[in-house]
Amino acid sequence: MIGKSNRQAKLDYDVIIVGGGMVGLALTAKLAQLDLRVAVIDPKPVELSWDEKTVDARVSAMTRASQKLFQDVGAWQLIEAPYRSDYQRMFVWDGESSRGKIAFDASLIAEQNLGYIIENRVLRRALYQSTENVRTVDWLCPEKCQAVDYQENYAELTLASGKRMKASLLVAADGAFSWLRKASDIGQEQQAYGHKAIVCTVKTEKPHQKTAWQRFDHHGPLAFLPLANSHLCSIVWSVDEAYAEELLTLNVADFEKRLSQTFEMSLGQVTLESRPVSFPLYERTASAMALHRLALIGDAAHTIHPLAGQGVNLGFSDALELAKVIETSLAKGADIGLKHRLRPFERARKSETKAMQLAMQSFKRLFEQEIPALQMARSYGLAMTDKHPLLKQTLIRKAMGL
C-alpha cells in the first residue's frame, strides 16, 4: 500500500485537519482517497438539513477546476440539480462610462457554461457526505482545540475536552482568524481594502438569464450572481466603508431603491429576500504556508477581495496541491510532515496567490479612480477587450481554471 512505511504506529493519525469548512473538507476528501488516517476538528457540525424555503446568502462561484475536484472525490454527484445554478454569460460594465462594457459567453470557448453559483452550505454538505463513511476518517465536530505542541517526529493537539491527538502533519484550514496559525506563532501581513462587502439574496423583476452581472463605480463593484430560481440572485456589494454604513442604515424600501438604481434597473425592480449583512474586507497573507509538521490552506493562509469570486477557488487549489505533495512523499516512503517535503506546496501556492492578490489590488484601484482621464482609459480598455475574441477566450479560460 502506498506510503505504508511512513505510518508510525504510535501516532493517532497521519493528518489532523483543523477546520471543517469547504476547503478543509475538500482536503479531507482527497486524503481519504490515499487511505490516510485523518481527523477533522471543527466547533460546528456540518449542516445536513435546513428549511428549503430559505437561501444561504453565502455562495461561491465554482470554477471548472473546482468542479473537477468535487467530481473526483464524488461530491459533485451529491449536489442535486436544483442546488446547482450554472451561468452561461457574464456581463461587466463601468457604471461611470457609457461605453465601458464587456460580455463573456461560454459559447466563445465551446463550453456549456462558465461555472456554477452554489450555496456554501450545499458545498460543505456534499463534501462531508462524500467522506462521512470512510473508515479512516474521524469527525470531531463539534470540538475545539486548546493547545498544540510540535516535536521532531510528530505534532500533538490537546482538545478542549482534554483529549490528546498526535499526527505526522497538522493542517490549518480554520479560516481567516485561524487558531492554529496563531498558536503556531505564524505571523500575518494584513492590508485593509477600505471596503465592506454587503451580501444578501434578492428577487429581481426580470429573469437573470443565467448571467452573472457586475457593475463598477467609484464606490466599488456590485455583483448579481444568478441562483437556480430565474428571479433570485445573490448579491455581493463591495463598497467603501463610509458608504456601506450609509447603506446599512437605510430602511428596506430605501435600500431596495438604492440597489435597483445602482444596478441601473438592469433586471428591473429588486426586492430583498434576506437581510443584508456586511463584513470588512482585508488582504491577508500568512508569513509561511508550511513549517515542520504544519501546512496552511484557504483563508488561514490568505484572503483576497471578492470582486472576482476567486477566494474559495484559491483554497480548493491549496487543498489539491497539498494532497499532491503528500501523495508524492508517500510514494517515496517519506515522512509527510517534514518541512522540506512541504516546500513544493508552499512555493506553488504562494506564487499563484500573490499573483491573484496583485490582480485584485489593481482592479480595485483602477475602478475607484474618479480622475476623468483614467475613467476614459479604463472604459476604452473594456470596450477594446470586448472586440477581441482571442483575448476574451484567454481571459475566460484563465478565470475558469482551464
- pLDDT exceeds 90 at position 180: yes
Q: What are phi and psi of 234, to 5 degrees?
A: -95, 130
pLDDT digits (tens, 9 = 90+) for 97-149: 666 888 889 888 888 999 999 999 999 999 999 999 999 999 999 999 999 99
At 383, the amino acid letter reads A
- pLDDT exceeds 70 at position 6: no
Q: Are 171 and 18 in contact (CB under 8 A)?
A: yes
Task: Give the C-alpha separation, 229 to 207, whole Å.
Answer: 9
Task: Give the C-alpha separation, 252 to 254, whole Å.
Answer: 6
Q: Residue 81, exposed/middle/buried by CB under 10 A (0-12, 13-18, 19+)? A: exposed
pLDDT digits (tens, 9 = 90+) for 279-323: 999 999 999 999 999 999 999 999 988 876 788 999 999 999 999
Q: In this predicted structure, what is the pLDDT of residue 380?
A: 60
Task: Give the C-alpha separation, 236 to 271, whole Å.
Answer: 15
Cell matching residue 65: 477546476
Higher pLDDT, 35 or 388: 35
Burial 30-69 (b: 16+ CB within 10 A, else e): bbbebbbbbbbbbeeebeeeeeeeebbbebbbbbbebbbb
List C-alpha distances in Å: 245 to 195, 277, 280: 11, 11, 11
pLDDT digits (tens, 9 = 90+) for 44-100: 999 999 988 888 888 999 999 999 999 999 999 999 988 999 999 999 888 776 668
Label residue 396 by pLDDT band (50, 70, 90): confident
Q: Are 184 and 156 in contact (CB under 8 A)?
A: no
Q: In this predicted structure, what is the pLDDT of residue 364?
A: 61
In percent, how much of the chain has pLDDT > 70? 90
Task: CATH number of the domain at 235, please.
Answer: 3.50.50.60
Cα 218 → chain centroid? 25
pLDDT digits (tens, 9 = 90+) for 330-352: 999 999 999 999 999 999 999 88
In percent, how much of the chain has pLDDT > 90? 71
Neighbours of 173 (CB within 10 A): 32
Counting the structural domains of the chain, the total is: 1
Give the total residue count for the chain.
Answer: 402
